[in-house]
């Protein structure tokens, strides 16, 4: 039958609805990215006011949003070049500028002879974070092992700073505060190395329909942060930082793990 005006109108409306849904799904990951950027920006504001723990919490929320936006993008099939670039710009705010400013406001006691060292260390952090993100965006290797990152990811590096704030915040100020610069410089340099760090993407986006690894990891983190948050944060942040050294040491124990667990973490 030739199309009538009524059937043409119905098809037009259906097409508009489908197009609207597609646009809404494509926008959804960017909303999480925007939440990431907002938390990073807010963390800088409260760090300047001296509320260091709240700034650390906000950077932690940025990490959650950063993990979520990628998972949501893959879930709805909305991985786009715009989303990748927007995510990197948000990461530079939340994991480049915010941790550097938080570390400097903790380190600095006003204008004294040690402040220039803090300026240099925090700029090294910012520069390394920018280089890390630019390298990640421009290095497209289809044959690369997707289970690993080259260099310490910027959210992982930021995790070291915020975990240190909660664990050692009261000792990060004063005349003996030069060691604080190591908390900034060491993760910063690791961001631009060729050392491989596990991505754990299989936990966030498991290939099978039985995400046991994700559920187990989530429960473990919830229990840890609910009971001993400072210890959990330090173990998580510094454990990931030292993973390239620790994994070869404990890898022989992997033979004792069940086959399913090996598949998740391999």
37/3: higher pLDDT: 37
Residue indicated by tokens 């920006």: 41
Q: Tell me the two tokens of residue 31.
A: 């909303």
CA 84/CA 76 separation, integer angstroms: 15
CATH number of 26-201: 1.20.120.1760
**Residue 104: other Cβ atoms inside 10 A:** 19
Region 198-217: mean pLDDT is 61
* pLDDT value for 71: 78
pLDDT of amino acid 115: 81
Q: What is the mean pLDDT of residues 102-122?
A: 82
Distance CA 22, CA 18 (A): 6
Q: What does the pLDDT read at residue 110?
A: 66
What does pLDDT average to over the chain?
79
Using the Cα atoms of residue 238, residue 252, residue 222 and residue 62 in order, give the sign of their dihedral: positive
Proportion of the chain above pLDDT 90, given as a percent = 30
SS (H, E, C) 88-140: HHHHHHHHHHHHHHHHHHHHCCCCCCCHHHHHHHHHHHHHHHHHHHHHHHHCC
Domain ranges of the chain: 26-201
pLDDT above 70 covers what percent of the chain? 70
Residue carrying the six token digits 């060691």: 179
Q: For residue 198, what pLDDT is reported?
A: 82
State yes or no: pLDDT of 94 exceeds 60.
yes
Q: Within 10 Å of residue 22's Cβ, how many Cβ atoms?
A: 13
Q: How high is the pLDDT of residue 14?
A: 47
Which region among 17-21, 26-30, 126-130, 143-147 has the lowest average model confidence (pLDDT)? 17-21
């Amino acid at each position: 039958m030739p199309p009538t005006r009524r059937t043409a109108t119905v098809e037009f409306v259906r097409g508009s609805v489908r197009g609207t849904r597609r646009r809404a799904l494509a926008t959804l990951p960017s909303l999480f990215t925007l939440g990431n950027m907002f938390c990073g920006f807010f963390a800088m504001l409260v760090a300047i006011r001296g509320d260091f723990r709240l700034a650390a919490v906000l950077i932690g929320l940025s990490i959650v949003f950063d993990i979520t936006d990628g998972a949501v993008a893959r879930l709805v099939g909305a991985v786009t070049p715009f989303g990748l670039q927007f995510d990197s710009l948000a990461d530079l705010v939340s994991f480049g500028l915010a941790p550097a400013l938080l570390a400097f406001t903790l380190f600095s006691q006003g204008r004294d002879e040690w402040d220039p060292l803090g300026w240099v260390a925090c700029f090294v952090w910012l520069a390394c974070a920018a280089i890390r993100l630019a390298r990640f965006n421009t290095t497209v290797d289809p044959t690369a092992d997707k289970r690993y990152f080259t260099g310490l990811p910027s959210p992982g590096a930021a995790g070291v700073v915020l975990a240190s704030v909660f664990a050692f915040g009261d000792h990060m100020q004063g005349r003996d505060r030069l060691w604080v610069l190591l908390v900034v410089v060491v993760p910063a340099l690791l961001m631009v190395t060729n050392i491989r760090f596990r991505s754990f993407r299989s936990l966030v986006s498991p290939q099978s329909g039985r995400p046991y690894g994700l559920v187990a990891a989530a429960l473990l983190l919830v229990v840890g942060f609910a009971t001993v948050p400072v210890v959990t944060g330090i173990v998580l942040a510094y454990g990931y930082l030292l993973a390239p050294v620790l994994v070869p040491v404990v890898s022989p124990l992997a033979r004792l793990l069940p086959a399913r667990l090996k598949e998740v973490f391999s």
